[in-house]
Structure 1
Amino acid sequence: MNTVTLNNGVKMPQLGFGVYQIPLEETAEAVYQAIKVGYRLLDTAIAYGNEVETGEAIQRAITEGLVTREELFVTTKLFIQHVGEEKAMKAIDESLERMQLDYLDLFLIHQPYGDVYGAWRALATAQSAGKIRAIGVSNFDTGKLIEFSHMNGVAKVQVNQIEVNPWNQRLTDEAYHEKLSIQMEAWAPFAEGRLDLFKNETLSKIGKQYGKSVGQVILKWLMQRGIVALAKSVRPERMAENIDIFDFELTVEDMATITALDKQESAFFDHNDPERVEWFMGLLS
């Protein structure tokens, strides 16, 4: 498995398994199978409601000798109701308890709303105490990320997890992440199949050259850009397919062809849209 080195020296697997929207009753088995197939980066969040099940799978895999705790890189996230220093400190401890872990490898602020500066102080304190190895944010646009990086006054941001896929490639954002030495991590690399992504003729044609699927081409494209990516499936055969991407390389021409697909717009929603921000603020009332 390829790894990237974060700005605090922590090594992070470049391809991970995400548990968003996996049915609760299937989560523990899906995470266990993902570990069995070879995934070492696991991504959950308080808002997903499946930290307990994710933790159960981790403990099962460790008990059975599939992995050691040190071989795994486990991520979770603070949701908007848990920002603010005191709330965040409590939430961090509760996540550790739910997942039956002594430490987490990465803890992110899930959304760019509310008292993110207070939450950041809590994450930095937990990092100093050894409860968290790396800290970061999620869904921060580049302007917000620049401001936050310069103004938090506590600790460096190691990771920003944002939507990145062929329809929303974030090329300008990538340049600023590199400038700030912040690792970009992609959620929804397949855009949940929107706009018939898996049937796209351009991506299919590239895949046929290497005997690979559209999904494999997309993940390889992200790997070659140096971006960490999260893939999700409850089917072991698809998990195995998604991780089988380290035996081929896309050419410069392939990469340019994929770049031409960029629509420069979210396949989901704009985090700066006033109605969306208003909705998030309603969660705090």
Structure 2
Amino acid sequence: MNSCSGTVTVLGSLCLITLQAPPGEVAEAVKAAITLGYRHFDCAYLYHNESEVGMGINAKIKEGEVRREELFIVSKLWCTYHKKSLVKTACTNTLKALNLDYLDLYLIHWPMGFKPGEKDVPLDCSGRVIPSNTSFLDTWEAMEDLVIEGLVKHIGVSNFNHEQLERLLNKPGLRFRPLTNQIECHPYLNQKSLIEFCHERNVSVTAYRPLGGSRNGVELMDNLVVQKIARKHGKSPAQILIRFQIQRNLIVIPKSVTPSRIRENIQVFDFELTEKDMEELLSLNKNLRLATFPTTEKHKDYPFHIEY
């Protein structure tokens, strides 16, 4: 897989979205992943587990199993911190929680700004998110300042559609281009147009939810095509879905806190899907989006009102 930074080889990625995990489970998952060879870890303020992620990372650094510069640590700016004066506060809070001096990559989690305050998703009486009067173009300027100050190495975005990304890339006075756009991506939502758009502009694509998930009783890993290809290669459906994205030149971030699954998810570099396999997986596209964030649909910057 291509390196995110040009200096770190990303052999696999672990997305630690473990909101309901018992205390200690996330730290142990991180430690197990580092031992297995993972060097890329995807975090976020919203996951509310960055201190545990940091415990796992720092334990392995202290043991001498890995050096900080061998790791690629990613986190994300949450929507209630889009005001320019709050961006640095959010970043330094994340660094403190992770017990790190810098991030390798910091993303704008969503293009939508929310009203600042104690609630992660502030809602009005009708159950709709309360927006802030911010623009992600202004938020980006504060993100660029983080690079200049040495708090982060690179910056990027997440859940941006092609129009929003184009606005950012064409922003007057742009100092740093987004390194990546992190988007939901799996065979039921293959994102072909958005991926082509990003790659044509030298913006990498990071695929979250690569294993899909359940919606309306639809479970991607139960798909007969996925299972047939898995049997053909002697691999699990999850390994097929991860390899599918790797061969599309994407950065893949499956999530798991189970050591056996963490191990399985990285064992995807000893086989290759055929052109026919890839075509069959691409043909499964249903434009089925799992992460829709319905309380934000009326927001001026809601990203999913257009095709891609």
Q: Same fold (TM over 0.5)?
A: yes
Task: Indicate conservation of the 8 Å contact 2:185/2:207, yes or no.
Answer: yes
Alpha-carbon shift at residue 278 of structure 1 (Å):
3.8
* Counterpart code for 1:252: E
Alpha-carbon shift at residue 171 of structure 1 (Å):
0.2
- The residue that corresponds to 1:93 in the other structure is 92
Alpha-carbon shift at residue 193 of structure 1 (Å):
4.7
Task: Indicate conservation of the 8 Å contact 1:84/1:117, yes or no.
Answer: no
* Counterparts of 1:13 and 1:35, CA distance in 2: 12
2:18 to 17, 21, 46: 21
1:245 to 255, 261, 268: 268
Q: Which secondary structure does the structure 2 equivalent of 1:107 belong to?
A: strand
* Counterpart code for 1:159: T
Alpha-carbon shift at residue 4 of structure 1 (Å):
2.8
Alpha-carbon shift at residue 280 of structure 1 (Å):
9.9
* Counterparts of 2:291 and 2:141, CA distance in 1: 30
- The residue that corresponds to 1:196 in the other structure is 219
Alpha-carbon shift at residue 279 of structure 1 (Å):
7.3
Task: Indicate conservation of the 8 Å contact 1:164/1:189, yes or no.
Answer: yes
- The residue that corresponds to 2:145 in the other structure is 125
Q: Which secondary structure does the structure 2 equivalent of 1:3 belong to?
A: coil
- CA gap of 1:238–1:110, structure 2 versus 1, over 3 A, is same
Alpha-carbon shift at residue 96 of structure 1 (Å):
1.1
2:158 to 138, 154, 157: 138
Bigger mean CA deviation after superposition, 110-119 or 180-189: 110-119
- CA gap of 1:97–1:158, structure 2 versus 1, over 3 A, is same
Gaps of 5+ in 2: 114-133, 302-308
* Counterparts of 2:146 and 2:220, CA distance in 1: 40
Gaps of 5+ in 1: none
- The residue that corresponds to 2:54 in the other structure is 55
The answer to whether the aligner puts 1:209 opposite 2:206 as a matched pair is no
* Counterparts of 1:258 and 1:191, CA distance in 2: 13
1:131-190 Cα offsets, whole Å, 9 max, x none, are 211100110011111112112623211111010011100000111001111010011111
1:33-80 Cα offsets, whole Å, 9 max, x none, are 111221110011011111111111110011112211011100000000
* Counterparts of 2:109 and 2:156, CA distance in 1: 9
- The residue that corresponds to 2:191 in the other structure is 170
1:182 to 195, 200, 203: 203
* Counterparts of 2:60 and 2:283, CA distance in 1: 42
- CA gap of 1:110–1:237, structure 2 versus 1, over 3 A, is same
1:195-231 Cα offsets, whole Å, 9 max, x none, are 1222211011111111101100010010000000101
Task: Indicate conservation of the 8 Å contact 1:24/1:53, yes or no.
Answer: no
Q: Which secondary structure does the structure 2 equivalent of 1:4 belong to?
A: coil
Give the structure with the larger helix fraction: 1
- The residue that corresponds to 2:110 in the other structure is 111
Aligned length: 275
- CA gap of 1:5–1:73, structure 2 versus 1, over 3 A, is closer
1:100-136 Cα offsets, whole Å, 9 max, x none, are 1111000000011123223211221111222211100
Q: Which secondary structure does the structure 1 equivalent of 2:219 belong to?
A: helix
Task: Indicate conservation of the 8 Å contact 2:18/2:26, yes or no.
Answer: no
- CA gap of 1:280–1:19, structure 2 versus 1, over 3 A, is farther
Q: Aligned Cα RMSD in Å?
A: 1.9
- CA gap of 1:75–1:154, structure 2 versus 1, over 3 A, is same
* Counterparts of 1:131 and 1:174, CA distance in 2: 28
* Counterparts of 1:192 and 1:70, CA distance in 2: 33
* Counterparts of 2:198 and 2:273, CA distance in 1: 23
* Counterpart code for 1:48: Y
* Counterparts of 1:55 and 1:214, CA distance in 2: 31
Identity %: 32
Q: Which secondary structure does the structure 2 equivalent of 1:151 belong to?
A: coil
Task: Indicate conservation of the 8 Å contact 1:51/1:95, yes or no.
Answer: yes
Alpha-carbon shift at residue 24 of structure 1 (Å):
5.3
The answer to whether the aligner puts 1:276 opposite 2:296 as a matched pair is yes
Q: Structure 1 length normalisation: TM-score?
A: 0.91
Task: Indicate conservation of the 8 Å contact 2:16/2:257, yes or no.
Answer: no
Alpha-carbon shift at residue 29 of structure 1 (Å):
1.2
